[in-house]
Structures are given as structure tokens and as C-alpha cells.
Chain A
């Protein structure tokens, strides 16, 4: 690690970006093909998509593996480190904005378009002409119409997930995991390798426990409450927000698992451990999104 001017590490030409593009192309193109070629609502052939997934996995292993090797070989000076940090911070910002779109949809439906369908403001005629016996309430259990514009019948739920049960446990689990990852970080900075590994292990375990409980919650919603993606705007916002969050928890937990393996292998030093911090930032980000979800999706 030298900080001499002009020692910024410039990588050699690399095949990984093109491999990644091919993987992305086959994954998305294959998924689109499966969605558009299916008959009677079933998915079409997904083989292309799986090939794409495999190539993506190969790319991720290869690319990150190469970066880890370069990092362990001491090729990255502090300026390179700063570039990585900025990259991760702005990536997380972009994720925040992705969630903002779905939070925005929830806000708009609850505060504006829902009441308008009920005739609020200057929308009395909308209400009278479209669905005159529609009452807006939240959670919205009874949709204005019975079938969607594309023809499918809405699943009318009998109830919604209870706030102070699994969602509360999940809140506690995620907040605790935020503490354990911070503990691991402090241990790393003090060179306490065992504490680092234990802290990371606990964080990963709590993360996957969260995902497991979330899956249980979905099963309850689908099998007992008839609350589905097709349950109108409530089901749409509920599953899309919590679903994308769950996906991000899974990604974060996988990232932390990689950090755990690397910690066991003896990677990272007290001063040089950007990858760990990036995974920890990401973890705090999913934590904060969850708090928003807990308040506006489950609670209010």
C-alpha cells in the first residue's frame, strides 16, 4: 500500500464486464421470454434465464475473486479505497431511491387516489359513476371492482398481518443484527479476530432468521388470510415493499456471509477492510428501510 502520487491502481483489460453483460442479457431476456411465451398464465420455458443466472454467478465469483486477490496483494492505496467507498455509498443511495418509488406509490394510493375513488375533493362524480358503493379504508380489504383491467379476479383478503406479532419480532431481530455487526466492526478495528467472527456469525444467523420468518409470514398471508399480490392495492404495496426488502436482506446476508468466510480465512486488517464496511453499510441500509416499512406498512 503506497500513497505515492501516480500509484492509483489501474486494472488490466478484463473479461468480466462482458461476461456480466451476457449474463444480464440472458437472464432478463430469458425471463421476458418466459413471461411472454407462457400459455394460460403459466410461465414459458425458463431455460435461457437459468443459463443467464449461471453466467451471472460465474461472473460474480470471478470478478469479486479477482478484486479480493488484488486487495490482499496490497495493490489498492487509500485513493482506490476512497473510490470504492464512494461507489458503495452512491449505490446505496440509488437503492434508497428505488424504495422511494414504492413508498411513494403507497403514499399516493393511501393519501390521494384512494380517497378520490371514494369521492373526496372534486371527485364525487368519479365515485358515483365508477363504483358508487366503494368505501375507502386502510388496509383496503374490499377492492372497488371485482376483476382487474386485464381480467383476473382480485383475491379479497379476510385480514392483514398483525403488527405486534411476527413483524415486531423481525424488527427486534434486525435491530439486534445491526448491533452485532457493529460489535464485529469494533472487534475488527481492535484486531480481535474471534469476536469479529462471532459477531459476523450472529449477524448472518439473525439475517437468515429474519428471511425465514418473513417467508412464514407470506405463507400465512397466502394460505390463511387470502392476502395476495392480486389483493388490490393493499396486497400490491404490501408484497412489493416487503418483498423487495426481503430480497435485499437476503443479498445483504449473502454479502455478510462472504465477509464471514473471508474473516475466517484471515482477510482484512485493522485499517484496511473496505469490503466489510461496505457490507455493514448495506446491512444498516436494509435495517433503516425495515423501520420505515414497519411504521408505514405494518403499523399505521
Chain B
């Protein structure tokens, strides 16, 4: 491409774009909107649970909130944010002119709003909002409960569309990484973020079709008379859980592996040392991905599996601790005796390492069959996966924003507001989720709008933490807008010891980068 056109203007720029940076921006804004939508649902949940007894909403509406909160955060907020980062960063990191298949890239994005509408629309069917008929069966949509749901078809097709989007996006990412690297950029020279996304994309292509398969079975069970999940016809509702979690377990790594990549980029920059154990990081990521396929039934220990199955899934699960620990030790070793400074991205990255590790440890506890019988379906599980997904994935996404936004916009973030954002989020998120460990261990079940008074105190504090955390993300929105609009100008290098091709180009990054591939030594 010799003609270097500037960015087109108007709405068609965003509708018709084939530019990886535009599409990355679309993904990131979409995910931010979904974060706020899903977050406001969490506020409804925490309002209801602030005191025992029925306070604010109907039980069905509460169930709809927990369901939609989970679905929107997983499929609408975290995953698209990671894809947005991939779109923005991978071509710049590997010295490619753009993604390998730019038109398909745009399609991957524009399917998402369609899927979101199908998912959310049934909430608005019915006389008034409170009696809306959205999905209310939990984000894991277990059969046979979900099969009773009147608007199941909308949900099923929303999942299908999300699957199309993810599969096409992943195909694009794999083709880009394998085919578009600049000369000299060998696989083992790729930045960790690129590596983690390569493996994540593989996981997505492997498991999203399985999810599509299982929702198709739900659809035909409901509307076409099949009996995959109906024991009366020789099927088995537990089979749903097996197929779902064969997708679901890799899915949780889909949400965390790119976060690992982000943190592995940020920590070396602010420790002013090379990433400790780069090769072992790559192998650990691959090992985690492999193990993710063979541990799914640890989500269903209490469902009544044969003992041999329980034991196997326990042992396989605990093995994941090994490659995960390799990563945590490597991050720690990278910081060891480094010339550390604590810029905003570094603060988020260090918070990630601490709190993701807490989530990892509780995961280890949940992975042990005998104790899982106690923890299963309690708030302990809720606390566990929110430590992994909020203080893990979401914190890494926010860290990535602060780290790369000077490159994207040419502006530094507002320093004081950003510091307030970090400390407010860090403290409130722990007030929000840490007490849920206690009430979970004490036996409070998840997904209920009312509870015994013995859980009242910690729920109260959890709700307070929730509201502050929610408000902190409104502050984040302010920061994002302020940074886009202006601020201290960033240099091209931005961070003094940041390494990688993205820091060799101007800030803000020009609309087209690397029309001629750079030479990597």
C-alpha cells in the first residue's frame, strides 16, 4: 500500500472500517459500555443483598440480574476488551501493516452488537421492566431449568452470534501472528502478550463451537422434540453440564491468559529488567491451555459422578497450579532487585499479581473434591471467580489501558485522578469480595435474593464495597474521556525502559503503521 490515506471521517468510518486500530477502539468502547451495563446490574444485586429480607426487586428480577450480569461481563465486557487490545496491539507488536483479514475483522466486531441486542431484548418483553422476561437461569444456563424458559431461542441465537464473532476474531489473530510477523520476529522473540493471545485464540476456536453445539441441543430439545437433556427420552441433564464445562473451563483461561500477557509486558518495563524466564512463561501458558481441556468436571463435583471421575478431575485440576505458579514466580523474580517505580500501570499490575494469586489459591481449595462439597454453590465460589476475573482479568485490562493509552491517544492520563481511581478500586474491591469468602464458608448460597440474618454484617460491607467500586469505574470513564481529549503530551517512547516495536512509532500511533515491515534483530 503506497497511498497512505488519512482516517476517513463520519459514521461510515466506524461502520465500514478495515483498520485494526479503529476496530480495536470499537471493541474497547463496546466492552466499556457493557462493563457499565453489567456493573449496574451488579449494583442492583448488591442493593438487594445489602440487608436480609426482600428489599428492592422481585426474586425473578433478581435472578435475571445475576444471570445477565454474568453473561454480559463474560461475553460483553472481558472478552471483547481482550480482543480490542489484541486488535490494537498485535499488529504493532509484530511489525505488521494490519490484521491478516481486515474485512472479516470488522465483521467479528459488528456481530457483537447484534448478539447483545438478542441477549438483552427479552428483558424488555412484558408489561413493565420489573416483570421482564430475560434469561433468569444463571449464566451457566443449566438444563433442565433453562429449558423451561419461554424466550430460550433468543438466548441460543445470541450465543451463536457471540460464537461466530469469537471464532472469526480468533482465526484472524492466529493468521496475523503466524503469517504477518516482521522479518526476524521469530516465535520465541514475540512479546508475551502476542504469545498469550496466540494460545487464547486456539482455545477459542476449539471451544466456542462446542458451546454452539450445546446451545443447539438446548434449542432442539425445546422446540423440535429432541431429548439430549431429558432422562425420560434416554438423555441426561448432567450431559449438558459436561458439554457446557468442556467449553466453560477453557473459557476461563480465555479470559485470563491475555491478562497474563499484559502483566508480563508491564512488569519488566517498570522493574527495568527483562522478563524473568521468558521461555518458561511461554511453555507455562501452553501447559495451562492444554490442561484446561481435561479438567472441566471440577465444576460439577457434587453432581454425582463416579468416584474415579471425581479423583481424576481433582488431580488434573491441582496440576494447573504448577504452570500457574511458574508464572507468579516469574513475575516476582522479574521485580526482584529491579529498579522499581510505581507508575499507574505498574500499580495495577502488582495488584493483579497479589490478588490473582488469592483467586488462584481459592481455586486450589475448590479443586479439592472433598472440600468442594462444602464450598459448592456458595459465596465462596463467587468470591473465588471474582478475584480471578475482576482483580485478575479486569485489573489487567485497566492496567493495559494506562500502559498503552499514551501510544493510542498521544496523551498521558491525568495523574492524580488515575491514582485515586487505583486506590479507590483496590480498597473497595477487597471490601466487596473478601467478606464473600467468609459468608461462603459459613454456608450462604449464591444466586438468592434473601438470606439468613447471620450473613447480614458481611453482606452489608460487601455492598458498601460494591457501590464504591462501581463509582470508581465512573471515575475511570471520566479519566478515559479526559485522556482522549487532552493531557500532557506523551513521547514516542512513553516509558523509559519499555521494549517492543510499538514504542518505536509515533505517539499517537499513525493510522497506518509498518506499511514496510521493520527489521527485528
Contacts and interface: CB of A to CB of B under 8 A. Distances in A.
Contacts of A12: 18
Contacts of B114: 21-22, 24-25, 28-29
Interface stretch (B29-37, B73-81, B166-174): B166-174
Contacts of A224: none
Given A21-B111, A86-B171, A101-B243, A240 B226 contact: yes
B59 interface: no
Contacts of A6: 1, 97, 515-517
A11 B18 contact: yes
Nearest to B133: A36
A266 interface: no
B98 A10 contact: yes
B180 A8 contact: yes
B118 A32 contact: yes
Given A90-B171, A114-B234, A32 B97 contact: no
B205 interface: yes
Interface in A51-103: 63, 79, 82-84, 86-87, 90-91, 93-102
Interface stretch (A164-172, A225-233, A248-256, A277-285): A225-233
A101 B13 contact: no
A121 B309 CA distance: 13
A232 B227 CA distance: 5
The size class of the interface chain B forms with chain A is 35 or more
A113 interface: yes
Nearest to A84: B101
Contact of B179 (A79, A95, A233): A79
B66 to A, nearest CB: 23
Contacts of A157: none
B127 interface: no
Nearest to B160: A28
A290 interface: no
B13 A152 contact: no
Interface string B138-179: 000000100100111110111011001001001110111011
B109 to A, nearest CB: 8
B230 interface: yes
A148 B231 CA distance: 8
A28 to B, nearest CB: 4
A79 B178 CA distance: 11
A13 to B, nearest CB: 4
Chain B CB within 10 A, most for which of A15, A63, A102, A105: A105
A226 B271 CA distance: 71
B395 interface: no
Interface stretch (B208-216, B277-285, B357-365, B496-504): B208-216
Consensus secondary structure, chain A interface: helix
A22 B110 CA distance: 9
Contact of B220 (A95, A130, A152, A229): A229
Given A28-B157, A29-B118, A98-B212, A35 B223 contact: yes
Nearest to A14: B103
B310 to A, nearest CB: 12
A173 B242 CA distance: 36
Contacts of A29: 114, 117-118, 121, 154, 157
B208 A233 contact: no
B107 A17 contact: yes
A75 to B, nearest CB: 11
B179 A109 contact: no
Contacts of A8: 1, 97-98, 180
Interface in A145-177: 145-150, 152, 154
B71 interface: no
B1 A143 contact: no
Given A18-B110, A32-B154, A144 B18 contact: no
Contact of A236 (B106, B175, B233): B233
Contacts of B220: 229, 236, 240
A24 B111 contact: yes
A222 interface: no
Contact of A14 (B98, B106, B175, B306): B106
B233 A21 contact: no
A5 interface: yes
Given A13-B18, A101-B213, A229-B224, A148 B230 contact: yes
B415 interface: no
B17 interface: yes
B123 interface: no
Given A97-B207, A97-B210, A229-B220, A13 B17 contact: yes
B233 A113 contact: no
Contacts of A286: none
A143 B233 contact: yes
Nearest to B516: A6
Contacts of A229: 220, 224-226
B267 interface: no
B116 to A, nearest CB: 10
B492 interface: no
Nearest to B98: A10
Interface string A118-152: 00011000000011000010001001111111101
Contacts of A122: 306
B222 A95 contact: no
B486 interface: no
Nearest to B111: A21
B217 A98 contact: no
B474 interface: no
A235 interface: yes
Given A17-B107, A29-B154, A90-B175, A149 B226 contact: no
A101 B16 contact: no
Contacts of A100: 209-210, 213
B107 A20 contact: yes
Interface string B506-521: 0000001001110000
A82 B235 CA distance: 43
A97 B209 CA distance: 6
27 contacts: A6-B516, A7-B1, A8-B180, A14-B106, A16-B103, A17-B106, A21-B111, A25-B118, A28-B158, A32-B153, A35-B153, A36-B151, A86-B100, A86-B178, A91-B167, A93-B205, A94-B171, A94-B205, A101-B209, A104-B242, A108-B239, A108-B242, A113-B231, A143-B232, A148-B227, A236-B233, A236-B235
Interface of B: 1, 8, 12-13, 15-18, 97-98, 100-104, 106-107, 110-111, 113-114, 117-118, 121, 144, 147, 150-154, 156-158, 160-161, 164, 167, 170-172, 174-176, 178-180, 183, 205-210, 212-214, 216-217, 219-228, 230-236, 238-239, 242-243, 246, 306, 512, 515-517
Given A98-B213, A101-B212, A228-B225, 11 more contacts: A16-B107, A32-B156, A32-B157, A79-B180, A90-B170, A97-B210, A112-B236, A117-B231, A144-B234, A146-B232, A230-B224
